[in-house]
A and B are shown apart, each in its own frame.
Chain A
Amino acid sequence: NSKVIQTPRYLVKGQGQKAKMRCIPEKGHPVVFWYQQNKNNEFKFLINFQNQEVLQQIDMTEKRFSAECPSNSPCSLEIQSSEAGDSALYLCASRDRVNTEVFFGKGTRLTVV
Chain B
Amino acid sequence: GQQVQQSPASLVLQEGENAELQCNFSTSLNSMQWFYQRPGGSLVSLFYNPSGTKQSGRLTSTTVIKERRSSLHISSSQTTDSGTYLCASQGGSAKLIFGEGTKLTVSS
B95 within 8 A of A: yes
CB distance from B28 to the nearest CB of A (A): 13
Interface residues of A (CB under 8 A from B): 2, 31, 33, 35, 37, 41-43, 45, 48, 50, 55-56, 89, 91, 93, 95, 98-104, 106-107, 109
Q: Which residue of A lies closest to B43 (CB)?
A: A104
The stretch from B13-21, B44-52, B56-64, B70-78 touching chain A is: B44-52
A98-B94 contact in complex given A41-B84, A41-B101, C-beta closer than 8 Å:
yes
Interface residues of B (CB under 8 A from A): 30-31, 33, 35, 37, 41-45, 48, 50, 84, 88, 90, 92-96, 98, 100-101
CB distance from B88 to the nearest CB of A (A): 8
Instruction: Rank and list the top 4 A-B pairs by shortest CB-CB distance, nearest first.
Output: A101-B48, A56-B93, A104-B43, A43-B98
- Check if B94 sits within 8 Å of A2, measured CB to CB: no
- Check if A2 sits within 8 Å of B30, measured CB to CB: no
- Check if A99 sits within 8 Å of B30, measured CB to CB: yes
Residues of A within 8 A of B92 (CB): 56
Of B35, B41, B45, B93, the most chain A CB neighbours within 10 A belong to B41
Residues of B within 8 A of A41 (CB): 37, 84, 101
CB distance from B23 to the nearest CB of A (A): 14
- Check if A102 sits within 8 Å of B101, measured CB to CB: no
